[in-house]
Structure 1
C-alpha cells in the first residue's frame, strides 16, 4: 500500500503544476517571458569540429535532402503503414499532454509533435499515420539502436558524441544550456553563484556532459554538487520544487517552458552554450535521413515551422528570427 501511494504521488508530481489555457488560435493566455527570448535564434553558429572518428567532422552537417522513397528504411515505413516516433510527454510546449484539453482526450501536442506529424504526412500521406512512444531522456539513443522507433523528435541536441551512435537530420532549432532556479535564489547564472549549490540535470543530456566537463576543468566551482541526475529532465523541476536541489541546468528552451508552468522559478543568466536540435535516426538509414531533411526543407520554406513556433513557443521564448539555416555535407 505504501509503495502504491508513493508511485501515485510521483505520477502527480511529474505532471505540470499549472498549464495556462490556450485560446482558440492556440496561443497561451499568459504574458510573454521576455527574459528568455535569447534562447531562440535562427542564425547557425559555427560548428565545433568533431574528432576524426566522426564522419563529417561538423555535427550540424547532414546528408543532402532527397524526396526519393525508394530506400530500404523509407520503404519499410511505408510498407508498415505508420511512422514510429520517440517523443517526450512531459515537456510543455514541446511534447506534452494538456489535462485542460478535454476535446482531444489529452493527445500529445507541442512543437516537436507538430514536426513528427509533418514527417509522417510527407512520407505516408497521412499526418496521423504515426505511433508515439514516450521515452525518457536517457533512452533516446537506445530506443533507436534497438529499432523500437524510426526517429526521435525530442529536443535532442546534435553533438559529436551522439553522432557515433545515431544519425541526425539538419538542425531544426537552436538553443543553449541555461540555469533555472527559484526567483528568490541568490544564484545569478552559470557562474560562481553556484558554489555550494546542488544542481540537477538529466542522465544522457548535454547539460550533464557540460557540468562534468566544467566541474573537472574548474570553470564550475569545485563545491558545486552535480551528483543529482534523473531519467527525465522534468524530474529536475520536481526536485527543485521539493527543495531537494537548488538549481537545474538544461536547454534554455525547455527551462523557459518550465518557468511558464511554475511562476516561482526563473531563468538565471544567459545561455552558456549554443546547441541545435535535430531529428535522430538509426545509423546507416541514409535514405530516411535524406527524406527527413527534405521534409525540413519544405517545413522551413512553407511557413509550417514558423506557424508551429508561434503557436507553442513564442509566448515563452519571445519572437524568433526563424529556424537555423541547414548545413549539408
Structure 2
C-alpha cells in the first residue's frame, strides 16, 4: 500500500464517543492470528500490531504489450523498471548461498498477506508471488523467512538489508524510487475512502471531512494525500492499516483513507463499512528491493514476466481468482510491464 516515506507518527486525543462495535468476527480473528506463536520461518521485526488491508481497484489493462520509456528526472514513469534477466549476480548469489529468501510482508492484510487462523500459515495474493520468486531463485524446496514489517518501516528494512525484498502492497512512487528499487508493477490501485454504511455525514473526499478524524497508515500514500489535501480533516496516523479499521469500528474516526485494493478487504471483513466516491489516485504495487541489488530486480522482473504469461490460465490470474475476484470483480489481468531504456 502506499506513497511517500513516512513522517513521524502523530496521535491526537480524539473526542470520546460511544463505541460502534461492528464486524468484530473478521478483525478479532485477524488480531487473534497475531497472537499465534511464530514459526521459525516467520520472524517479526516488531511486536504484532492490528494491521490489515483489503482490495478493490478499477483497472483492467489485460495482457497489454510491455512498454519501453525514456526515464528522466521528472519521474513521468516511476513504474519503469530494469529489463528482466535470469542471470545470478551478487544479490541472487547471496540469497542462494544463505539458503533462504527473507521477505518483508504484512501478516494481517486480508486477502493479500495474512495469517490464516485455521492453519497458522501466511497466505494471500502477495504471498503467492513471494513463493513464485523463491522457487525461481532457490528451486522447488525454497525456504522463505517472512518478516512482518509495519508500513513505515518497509524502506528502512530494505536499506539495512534486514530483508531481501518487500512484497507488501507497496505503491511505486517518485519519492520511493529514490530510496529503494522496484520491480515492474504487478497490481493497480487508487486511494479511496472507507466509511460506515449508516450514521455518517461523510459524503466523499471533500469538505464533509472538515474537523473529522480520518485514519491513515503512517508512511502510506494515503497519509501523503491527506497531508496535501486535508479538507480540514484531523489526520490520525497508525502503524498499520488494520488499526484504522478497528478505530472506525470503535467510532474513534469517521473515515479511513487507504488503497481501494486494501479497503475492499476490510469491507469483506466488516459488512457494516463500504467504499464511497471514486479512486483519487492511480498507483501500482511493485516488489521493493535494495537500490544496489540490480541483479535481483532483473531476476524478479523475469519471474513476473512468467507469472503474467498464459492469459486466463496465468499464475497471476489463478491467484487473482483465488484471493481477489470475489471482492474485486472485473479485473482482466495484470498491468503491462514498463521498462527503462
Q: Secondary structure of the residue that 2:195 maps to in structure 1?
A: strand
Establish whether residue 67 from structure 1 lines up as the match of residue 78 from structure 2. no
Q: CA, structure 1 residues 257+300, in 2 after alignment: closer, same or farther (shift >3 Å)?
A: same
Q: Secondary structure of the residue that 1:193 maps to in structure 2?
A: helix
Aligned residue number for residue 210 of structure 1: 225
Aligned residue number for residue 155 of structure 1: 169
Residues matched between the structures, number: 286
Where structure 2 has 5 or more consecutive residues not aligned to the other structure, the ranges are 1-23, 31-54
Aligned residue number for residue 296 of structure 1: 304
Equivalent position to 1:89, from 95, 107, 123 = 107
Shift >6 Å, 4+ stretches? none
Tell me the alpha carbon deviations over residues 198-217 of structure 1, each in whole angstroms, 9 at most, x when there is no partner: 100011001101111113xx
Distance 1:211 1:152 in 2: 24
Q: Secondary structure of the residue that 1:62 maps to in structure 2?
A: coil
Equivalent position to 1:263, from 266, 271, 282 = 271
Please show how residues 169-248 of structure 1 align to structure 2 within 5 Å.
169-184=183-198, 185-215=200-230, 221=231, 223-226=232-235, 228-248=236-256
Q: Secondary structure of the residue that 1:201 maps to in structure 2?
A: strand
Aligned Cα root-mean-square deviation (Å)? 2.4
User: Cα offset for 1:39?
Assistant: 3.3
Tell me the alpha carbon deviations over residues 160-213 of structure 1, each in whole angstroms, 9 at most, x when there is no partner: 101111000000000000000100122222223222321000110011011111
Q: Secondary structure of the residue that 1:65 maps to in structure 2?
A: coil
Aligned residue number for residue 15 of structure 2: none
Establish whether residue 310 from structure 1 lines up as the match of residue 321 from structure 2. yes
CA contact (8 A) 1:14 1:234 kept: no
Q: CA, structure 1 residues 260+73, in 2 after alignment: closer, same or farther (shift >3 Å)?
A: same
Tell me the alpha carbon deviations over residues 200-247 of structure 1, each in whole angstroms, 9 at most, x when there is no partner: 0011001101111113xxxxx2x3212x10011111111111111100
Equivalent position to 1:140, from 154, 160, 163 = 154
Which structure shows the bigger proportion of residues in helix conformation? 1
Q: Secondary structure of the residue that 2:27 maps to in structure 1?
A: coil
TM-score by length of 1: 0.82
Distance 1:94 1:171 in 2: 15
Distance 1:88 1:126 in 2: 24
Where structure 1 has 5 or more consecutive residues not aligned to the other structure, the ranges are 1-12, 20-35, 216-220
Aligned residue number for residue 178 of structure 2: 164
CA contact (8 A) 1:37 1:319 kept: no
